[in-house]
Amino acid sequence: MYLSGQTSRTLAAHPEWMLLCDAVRDGAVHSEILGHLTLIRSHLASAGIREDLLDGIATGLCGGTWDNAVEAFTRSRGARVNFYLGPMRAEESGPSGMGLFLLEQRTHAAQNVAMLEQATGWIGKAMFGAPCSFMGRVVEFYDITAAVGPFAEAGAKAIALFTPFYFDGWTDAARHRENRRSLILHNLIRARFDVLTVPFLDRLRIDSRHSMLCGASDDQIDDAFILWLTLHEMMHSSGPMPLFAEPGYKLDLGMDYGPIEEMRTDMSAFIALGLMEGELGERTRLAQELILAERLLRSVRVGNALDPLANGIGKSLDGEHGCLWAATLHASGALRLGAGQIDIDWDGAQAAVRKILGAVYAGESAARASRDTPRELRNQAADLRNRLFVGKGKSYSLPSALEDHYSKVRGRERIVMTFQDC
């Protein structure tokens, strides 16, 4: 799949841009990269890239820290075009390397994000008895239209950029953690849906009918993604425990608890969308069905393929997260299998999600009060896996009926991304 955008195409018309991309890709010395950056700098400025950001990048390339560049990127929030060059990673725990990227804004998304930001208070009170919050995180939607280095190498697996954590070379934590950005890379998420989920939509039934997604327009699906993923990020802001009344924080629990947190945030977004039906109408139902389609049709199948050596459920957040959805709904009777199809009982699914969410949030609250919170969360995650999956210890698989269903599903499991303007 080829990725491009208006600004990336404009820059690609200048030889200096292609030389800069080649220098970063080839691991050139910083002085050479700086030379190419200097030659293309005026064109970047014409595209709307801040001068203080370009100055900060130059400082980093000259051997200084990258703090000025990271801070200037933070101040670029809401800009039509975002650019960065420097040491970076495509996932929080991934390796760091020199790279660059260009992001072009999804302008229609900002209105939806603002609407959801205003609704966080009553959503939280309705769900938890206390207002929700983004805890200072700014959620934005961009298309990534050019990339060299970590984001190019990660392809469709790198669907978001969280600052400052995905940047390297900065030293002033207090300076950057107060101004965090959550940039959702919409075109990668949408491409993943179009290629890996849409071909299987005819296998999903909801109350014995085809999903609303089958007849939805591109704009409606884009809108559904924005509603879902903005709420998903809001729920992440609580950390792995529901501390909505105080600054959220993260515990480094990796794959021990990560899939459960992903399930929790998605299921919380699923319920929150239902609460908003009176204000947004069928838009919320479409977003809820999108969550089900992505998790049941793509995450289980594709996520497990990312770990081909696994005996059972692959060790990927995406894969195990999808398996948790499938196993939860199947155990409750809300997911029925037959003739190669998945049929969801809508009311039963709502009840199953509410039930498991209640148990997870109660467990997290108990862990909060325990002497060893990380250990308690790991124990709760192991208990949940033992209830939903087959096996124990470090090796789990889906219940046999689900395992048999998914073993017979054949289709594309990966997307190859090419940034044609760099």
Buried b (16+ CB within 10 A) or exposed e, 62-72: eeeebbbbbbb
Query: How many helices and strands (H and E) does the chain possess?
Result: 18, 13
pLDDT along the chain (422 residues), means of 10: 91 96 97 97 96 97 93 92 97 88 92 92 86 80 97 89 91 76 95 95 96 96 97 75 44 81 94 94 97 96 61 78 96 96 98 95 86 89 92 80 90 86 91
Strand partners, 88: 97, 167
pLDDT of residue 311: 54
Per-residue pLDDT at 242: 43
Tokens read off for 350 = 């709502």
**Helix 317-332 crosses helix 254-275 at what angle (to 10 degrees)?**
60
Task: Determine if the peptide bond prior to 374 is cis (ω within 30°).
Answer: no
Q: What value, to the nearest 5°, has the Cα angle with vertex 203 and ends 200 and 207?
A: 135
Tell me 276's DSSP state. T
Residues 179/71, Cβ–Cβ less than 8 Å: yes
Q: What is the pLDDT of residue 241?
A: 53
Q: Which residues are 392's β-sheet partners?
A: 395
Domains defined along the chain, listed by start: 2-107+138-183 (3.30.540), 128-133+211-419 (no CATH)
Instruction: Report the chain's terminal Cα–Cα distance, integer Å.
Output: 14
Amino acid identity, residue 250?
K
Tell me what pLDDT residue 394 has.
67
